[in-house]
Structure formats: structure tokens, C-alpha cells
Chain A
Amino acid sequence: MSSATALPPRGMLRIATDATLDKLLSGRGIWPAVPAIVVLAAVAVIPFGILLSLGFSDIAVERGAIISQTFTLDYVRTALADPLTFTVFQRSMVLALSTMLLCLFFGYPVAYLFLIGGPWVRRLILVLTIAPLLTSGIVRTYAWLVILGGRGLVNNTLIEIGLIERPLRIINTHWAVLIGMAQIHLPVMILPLIAVMSRHDRRLDEASANLGASRLGTLVNVILPLSVPGIGTGAALVFTISYTTFVVPQLLGGGNYLNAATMIYEQVVYSLEWSKGSVSSMILMATCLVVLVFIALITNHFTRWTKGREA
């Protein structure tokens, strides 16, 4: 192929500094990630270290700034000896674990419907699952105030059909918190389950049916074991946010309902007991981690088939 205008030689337009820029932008070295690493270190890693140190110190706070800090184990000792600490964390733990189980109970059938459903069913499930995640948590909690409130949907309906005469007190109870939490965190359980289901090989179900299994048999013996990774991810996510959430217990539990997060909020923002708050935060993280490790161990046990051939 000859032409009137000759081809310019390769690389003519490159400027001198371009080479350095090229090296930086090729993504082969660590440099492009350095800003993120610095920011994460400054705004996450170092603060976590400081949080840890505050739990072991006596501090003086003046106008929102820490002016002195001395080492002490008092706060850790007090917190661990305080029966309130135990009650609050136990309550949070029970609440988070039961939310997790409720979400699994309602979420897994949705994932199964996603698996056997056609493209329109799948699209509907995706929209209904993702839309709430894009809506504010406060808005979704507020909805439950409307439904469960004294003059809300449930009470009005019950009075209407004559089951009760005076409104039931549903809001500001443990049950209101559990119901609201389970509904609000349901999408978080469904998403990882759907991810597993969309990768599920439906020929396995056909093979199972061909070998004589009923639909329930296939669900229990083929689909369920293969979806354990999704269950593990979903359970871990729902547990973490339920265990550490602030909005739902604050709004649906009423002023006296304390869970770990609302307790930390009161300690830090209202009573300005920062060392206490630090200790509570550390207990929160530590206990959360224990449960997550436990969930990971169970998941691993049931997903031994994913491990490669042993040498």
C-alpha cells in the first residue's frame, strides 16, 4: 500500500517528559496507588491506632481537642466489669444473629425464585433488591414507624377488623427493631445469593432430575450445597451491619433501647466519655471479628469441594 503522503515514523509525537508519565500511568509500579495508600493510612489506619491507644488512657478533652493523655487500664477494667456492657453487647449479638437468620429465611427463597425464574422475573428481583440499597436507611426505617406506629397500618387494620380495641404498643420494643432490621438488611443477604445463583449451572439440576431427584431433592442436595459461599458472604455482611447499626435501634427501639452502636454514640457525643467510647468500639470490633471468623470457618467446612486437588 503506497500513498501520496508518507507514513510518519512511529513515536514522532512523543514529548520528552512523556516517558516518565508513561511509566507512572502504565500501572505496573505502585506509584498510581500511593495517594490512596497515604489517604487510607491517614484517615483509617492511624485513627484506628489512636482509637486503640485512647482506650488505654486517661484523657482531658477541651473544646473538642485532646489536651493530655496518660496510660491507664481503668477503662478497660471498668467496662469489662460493668454488667451494662455485657447486657448491651449480648442484646446486640442476639439481635444481629436473629436478623441474620430471618434474612436467610426470606432471602434464600428469593434466590431460588431467581434461579428458576425467566429473564423478567430475574430483572424484577434485581430491581426490587437494588432499589432499597440506593434509598436512605433513615427513610426505610421511617417507613416502619408508619407501619408499626400507634396509628399505623398494622394497628389500624387490627382495630378495623375488630381484633383489638386499643392500639398495640409495637414501636419501641425489641420486636419492632428485629422486624425493621430484617427487612432493611434483606437486600444485603439477597445480592450475594443471587450472584451465586446466576453462576449456577442449570445442567446440574437437569442431571439431578434425570437421576430421579424431586425438585425439593435437587434444591436440598445440589443447589443448597453449591450456594454455601453466597450464604456465607450474605450472613457475614448482614451480621456485621446488624451488629453495628445505629439508625434502626435508635428510631424503632425508642430512647431507652441501647445496642452497641447507640451506646457508643451516647458515650462519645453526649457524655463525652471518649475513653469509654474507645473501649466500647474495641469490644464491638473484637466480638464482631470473632463471629465473622466463626462464619468463615463454617462456610469453609461446607465448601471443601472448592479447594483444589491436594498434592
Chain B
Amino acid sequence: MHEPVDANADLLTPPVLSIGGVTKRFGPLTVLDRCSLDVAEGEIVTLLGPSGCGKTTLLRCIAGFWAPDAGTITIDGADTVRVPVNRRPVGVVFQSYALFPHLTVAKNVAYGLRMRGMAKADIAARVARALETVALSDFAGRYPAQLSGGQQQRVAIARVLVLEPRVLLLDEPFNALDAKLRGAMQVDLRQLIKRLGITAIFVTHDQEEALTMSDRIAVMRAGRIEQLAPPEEIFDHPATAYVADFIGSSNFWQSHAEGGRVNLPDGQSAPSHRAGDVTIMVRPHNLAIRPGEDGPLKGAVGFQRNIGALVEYHVATDGGGTVRVMAMRQERGRSIADGTRVTLSILDPNLCAVYEPQ
């Protein structure tokens, strides 16, 4: 395994949130393994990974619900590991929203201010402004059960924003919403956070959500951060085969590299920083498909499906295995019929990634 990613290099301003070597064990199980991450002022960083990768554990450590076994968590340079939950400048939007069912929308939003002993008039003014920010002014007197999922989410956000947290933590906030609403809510939420200039950590297992919401994505695997980079870089240059497999779909081949170049399955070659046995990854949209047998990478179309403007072909290659190819759908259905013999070629060899052999 490679060493944990060091993320401290590319920040220009001092980080708002700095996580250093955080480790968390539950009995024999290491859930977080030396995680390090710096988040700059106003940045949205997503923790992305499958369930059990440690992303929620890291979030709960930052919020203070759980104490890490090792490592530091500093906010504005001050160590927070020993600060009790209720005194951390951190706001959490829970997956279930955790709105208090016995309090109205306004009282839910006022809750944190009340806990600090603020004067009633000041509370009312702040609550009114917070509700305005999330466009829920008309719903102040309602109870959470009387709101839609999207409205509940906005209450949960207003409830923490009114406390002006230094860091906003969002734990899969779109899980409770239906698919159609999610897309719109993602855009709205990102715009709101950006407009208010809040530093945010966002946890999800949904890559599309991560690509929409984030300034940077931390892809997590088994308690470690595999890659920390902006969305485009994660997608175009995945650091490991795991990241490539998790984000977008990918085709893998075993190959051999020598003298700084690696042989590609269609006969071309690409530059390689590795030598010896390697795994190469080619995205489906980096492959061209044409009927006929006039190249080294041949096969037969086994299955195809339309995804809007695109067609995804599953090609059973002669070397064994299935290769996925994404192509623009032809007008008037001039697509390639199932069973047709086809030849594949790589469009841009420089976009092929080379990893250690698997």
C-alpha cells in the first residue's frame, strides 16, 4: 500500500479545518487509519466512498460525537479534540435531519441561540433572517412533520447556519429525498453555501453528488484517503485503480511497460512512469467502435443500452472479458446490432492511466 495522501501542500491560505493523522478503532477494527486533510476557508470538500469506508466516522470525529484514538483536529489553529460537542464551532446537518418533532420550524432554528442565552428579540431577528435565507419564512409556525423532505432539509440547514459555524458538516443530506428532487437540491445547496462563504465537509457515497457539490473530493477506502483532488482531476486522472473504478466506469487490462512506454491492447503505446507488469485503465468514452475486423482489439457486441444521447456497448473481446464502450448515438438508429463483429481502438492514448498490477 502507498502512504496516506499529504494534502497540506496545495493550500495558499491557512486552513480553517486541519485534520492530522486521525485514527479511530472500534475494538479490533480500524475504521480510520491516519487520515489527514486540510480544508481552506469557504471550500467544500466531499468525503466519498462506499459504506464502511470511514467517511461518517471522520465526520463524527470532527463534530465531537466520537473521540479519535490518535491524531489532531484543529479549527482555526486551535485543537478541538478535547472540546466537548456542545462547544465546537461546527454545525451538523444529519442524514435524518434530526429536527425536533415537538418544536416548530422557528423554534428549531432558535434552539441553538436559546441554548446560548441570547435575548428573545435578538433570537427572533436572527431566526427570521435565517428562514429568509432558506426561503422558509412562511413556514415558521409549522411542525417538522408538516413539511416536505426538501423543506425539512432547509430547516436543518438554517438551524445550524444561524449559529454561524466555522465548519458545516453534511452527512448524506440528500438520502431522504427522492431522485428527481436531489439534482435541483444539490445545485441549490452548493450555491447557498458558496454565497454565504461557509467552509463545508460533505459526506456521500454517490459520485454524481460529489462531482456536483465539491471543490475537492477525498475518495476514501477502508479508513484511508486514497486521493484528494478537484472533481475533474479525480475523474480524468484517478490516482489508483480503486478510485478509477469507483468514479465513472472503467475498463482494465493487464500489460507490460518497458523503457517509459506501455503497450496498449489496440497496438498503440502510451507513456508510463512504471516499469514491468502494470494495469492500464481506459474510460469507455475513450474507446472508438467500428464494425469489421481490421485491428488487434476485436470482439462481438453482446449487449447495448441507450443512455440518453449516448449508447453503451458491451463488447465480448476475443481475448476474453467484456469491454464497455461509450459512443454518441447515431440519428435514426444507425447503431451497431447485437452480435456484430467489431474492432475497438483507443482515441487518446495519453488519457490511459497506468497502475500497479492487480
Contacts and interface: CB of A to CB of B under 8 A. Distances in A.
A245 B117 CA distance: 56
Interface residues of B, number: 21
A192 to B, nearest CB: 29
Interface string A5-16: 101111111000
A134 interface: no
Contacts of B84: 11
A32 B113 CA distance: 29
20 contacts: A1-B130, A1-B133, A1-B161, A1-B162, A1-B164, A1-B196, A3-B126, A4-B125, A5-B118, A5-B119, A7-B163, A7-B164, A8-B117, A10-B86, A10-B88, A10-B116, A11-B87, A11-B116, A12-B117, A13-B117
B133 A3 contact: no
Interface of B: 84, 86-89, 113, 116-119, 122, 125-126, 129-130, 133, 161-164, 196
Interface of A: 1, 3-5, 7-13
A1 B125 CA distance: 12
B231 to A, nearest CB: 28
A134 B87 CA distance: 48
A7 to B, nearest CB: 6
Contacts of A8: 116-118
A5 B133 CA distance: 18
Contact of B129 (A1, A7, A11, A13): A1
Q: Quick one: which of A3, A4, A7 has the most chain B CB within 10 A?
A: A7
Given A1-B129, A1-B133, A1-B164, A7 B196 contact: no
A29 B196 CA distance: 41
A8 B88 CA distance: 13
Given A13-B116, A13-B117, A5 B89 contact: no
A3 B116 contact: no
A4 B119 CA distance: 13
A5 B124 CA distance: 12
Nearest to B123: A5
A1 B87 CA distance: 20
A3 B121 CA distance: 12
A3 B86 CA distance: 22
Contacts of A1: 126, 129-130, 133, 161-162, 164, 196
A245 to B, nearest CB: 41
A10 B113 CA distance: 9
Contacts of B126: 1, 3
Nearest to A11: B87
Given A5-B119, A11-B84, 11 more contacts: A1-B126, A1-B133, A1-B164, A3-B122, A3-B126, A3-B129, A5-B118, A7-B113, A9-B116, A10-B89, A10-B116
Contacts of B130: 1
A9 B83 CA distance: 14
B196 to A, nearest CB: 7
A13 B112 CA distance: 13
Contacts of A4: 125
A14 to B, nearest CB: 9
Q: Lowest 10 CB-CB distances: which A-B pairs, in order?
A: A13-B117, A11-B87, A10-B87, A5-B122, A8-B116, A7-B164, A1-B164, A3-B126, A8-B118, A8-B117
